[in-house]
Structures are given as C-alpha cells and as structure tokens.
Structure 1
Amino acid sequence: MSNKEKLGRNRKDSNDDMVNLVDNIERQNDLKYNRRSFLKTAVAASVTLGVATLPFSIKAMLNDGEEEQVKVKIAKLSDVAKGESINFNYPTDQEPAILVHTKDGELKAYNNKCTHLQCPVFYEKEQDILLCPCHRGFFDVKSGHPVAGPPQRELPLIQTEVINDVIYAVGRKIRHG
C-alpha cells in the first residue's frame, strides 16, 4: 500500500474540514499519551516524592520538639531593682532579649523583637508596659500579649530561673494564641 493510499483510506468523498478530522490523528501519539500511561506517571511521581521526604519525616517523628536548653547567665537579682529592665542576648549572641523585674517582684523575659516588624521593644516603667516605638505597638509585661497597635502575635517567652541570687535564662517558649 502506498503512502497516498494510506492517507486516503480514511478520507471521505468531501473536502469539508469537519468530515476529515481523522487526518489529524497519529496512532503513535494516541498510544503514547493515553490515560493509563498518565496515571502510571502520576503514581510514580507521587511515590518518588514520598520516598524523597521519608528521611525528614523520620527525623521529625524522632525529635521530641524540644529545643536544646541553653542556660545563660543574665544578671544578679540584686542588680535589677523592681520596676527596672535590662537587655541581654538569648539563646545566641545575635538574638536580643529583655528582662523585666516587675513592680510586683516577678521576673519576665521576652525576645526583644516586636512581632510586627522586628523593631526593638522597650520597657516603659511609668505605664508598666512593653513598647515598640516603630509603630506604637504595646505588649503586656505579665504575658507578652499585644494590647494595642499593629502587632498581632505575642512576644516569645524566655523562661528564667534564679539560683543563688543569679538570674539565668533556661529556655524559650514560642506561643501562639
């Protein structure tokens, strides 16, 4: 059978394009791009991605979610009067923090970056509040929750411990809600 005969076997006795749509079909492409091969490819891609993420999943399951606790000396308790604050770095030297000795005698420590745009937070003794001067954000000293301004999230809490008149930062708790 010649090429001309092969091409003409599906042609109807009309020159209308709608009748001769079968001329556009190539049998090889029809076999190559069918539903079964698409599904095989989709399943193979899913399995490959699942296997690729397996080590990360195992590591996440084995990790108990706790950060390694770093104990850092902040200051002597006798050096921080009630109603005063001091700045320190925790858990690394690049992460600023603030310790407030409240008027009630409690020690409260937080990361010293506003949760809005990372501006430094200062303690206002007269108002007994933490202030972010960049956009006038206010945080409650006792809880670290925002009370006014654009910040929507609370400041990460730094857990403290007093041993022999020395204040230590012993952990960090990132809270949401």
Structure 2
Amino acid sequence: MPQDHNNKRNSKDTKDDMIHLIDNLNRDDDLKYNRRAFLKSAVGASITLGLATLPFSAIALNREEDDTNRKMITRLKDLPKDSSMNFNYPTDDEPAILVHTKEGKLKAYNNKCTHLQCPVFYEKEESVLLCPCHRGFFSVDNGQPLAGPPQRELPLIELEVKDGAVYAVGRKVRHGE
C-alpha cells in the first residue's frame, strides 16, 4: 500500500495541495513584474543620487576663482611686441618663457627643451623658440617642435590679461594633441 500512496502523490490527479502550490503562478507575469520592479528601483536610485549631488554641483558652480595657481608675470606695457621675458611658474624652481609676438599675441611655455632640458630662447628673426644645445626649434604659436632632436611640444602655460597685467593661471602638458 505505501507504493500506491507514492504513485498517487506524484500524479496530476491527486488532491494533495502541496503539489499544486505553483500552478497559479504564470512565469511571464513573474518576469514582467521583476523587470518593472528593477527599472523602478534603478530610476529611483538615479534620481536619489542626482538629488544628493546637487548641492555639491551648486557649490562648484558658485565657487570663487581659485588664486592658488595664479601668478602675476609682468605689466603688459612693460613687455613690447616681438620680445620675451623669463619667469618661474608654477614654482620658483621651474623656469618659463613669456613671448609677446609681432602680432601682439601672448604665449608662454616651460623654458626647458623637451629633448635634454636645455633652456629655450625666443629668436626674433625667425619668430621661433630655439634650443641652442642641439639646434632644436619650437613654434611660438603652439610649442610644437619644428626641427632638431625634440620630439615633444613644450608644456603650455595658460595666460590671462586683467587690468593691464599678465597672469599665469595654469599649465597644460599636451603630449599627443
């Protein structure tokens, strides 16, 4: 008799409630509700994170200019067109060169050749930056090497002119641009 009982239990016609517990579940509905619940959770989390970072974004937008990297180089009237001057930026141990071109543009670069760190000089006749150690030439307009052994451009020093004064405000190393 125990075998008859086991056979009935595994058959569909049995009235045992334990076997028919999952018959009322539809797999498609189950997956749809899970996807919907997941998307609602993802959207809710995204909105929550966005709202949580909103105060930091507002602070960043309203922050006053950071003057820690700002350094006055010279007065614009003290640097005539087609001339240059040396200065140190961003620290007192890092030499740089400021060039006031014939066209009136201001350009500044680190004053170390990218080949062997020799100083570069503004050559007025050809309007280039010259490294005398190995005859390396750099463009005044963009700091790119024009001739000689240097393969990389000079790091650019960002400038700002305000109230007749020239300020160094940042430095960009642009290898590969």
Q: TM-score, normalised by structure 1?
A: 0.61
Match of 1:119 in 2: 118
Is contact 1:146–1:154 with CA below 8 Å preserved after alignment?
A: yes
Letter in 2 for 1:130: L
Match of 2:99 in 1: 100
Match of 1:139 in 2: 138
Secondary structure, counterpart of 1:91 in structure 2: coil
Match of 2:86 in 1: 87
Letter in 2 for 1:174: V
Secondary structure, counterpart of 1:118 in structure 2: coil
- Offset at residue 78 of structure 1 (A): 0.4
Match of 2:159 in 1: 160
RMSD of equivalent CA atoms: 1.1
**Mapped partners of 2:68, 2:147: distance in 1:** 32
- Offset at residue 138 of structure 1 (A): 0.1
Letter in 2 for 1:108: K
- Offset at residue 69 of structure 1 (A): 5.5
Q: Name which one, 1 or 2, has greater alpha-carbon Rg.
A: 2
Structure 2 residue ranges without an equivalent (≥5)? 1-66
Secondary structure, counterpart of 1:82 in structure 2: coil
Letter in 2 for 1:124: E
Secondary structure, counterpart of 2:85 in structure 1: strand
Please list the CA deviations of residues 43-75 of structure 1 after superposition, one character each: whole Å capped at 9, or x if unmatched: xxxxxxxxxxxxxxxxxxxxxxxxx96001100
**Mapped partners of 2:75, 2:132: distance in 1:** 28
Match of 1:44 in 2: none
Letter in 1 for 2:167: Y
**Mapped partners of 1:145, 1:91: distance in 2:** 21
Secondary structure, counterpart of 1:100 in structure 2: strand
Is contact 1:144–1:157 with CA below 8 Å preserved after alignment?
A: yes
Instruction: State the identity %.
Output: 70
Match of 1:58 in 2: none
**Mapped partners of 2:171, 2:106: distance in 1:** 14
Instruction: Report how many residues are paired.
Output: 110
Letter in 2 for 1:106: K
**Mapped partners of 2:87, 2:128: distance in 1:** 18
Please list the CA deviations of residues 139-162 of structure 1 after superposition, one character each: whole Å capped at 9, or x if unmatched: 000000000000000000000000
- With over 3 angstroms needed to count, the CA separation of the structure-2 counterparts of 1:69 and 1:142, relative to structure 1, is farther
**Mapped partners of 1:72, 1:113: distance in 2:** 19
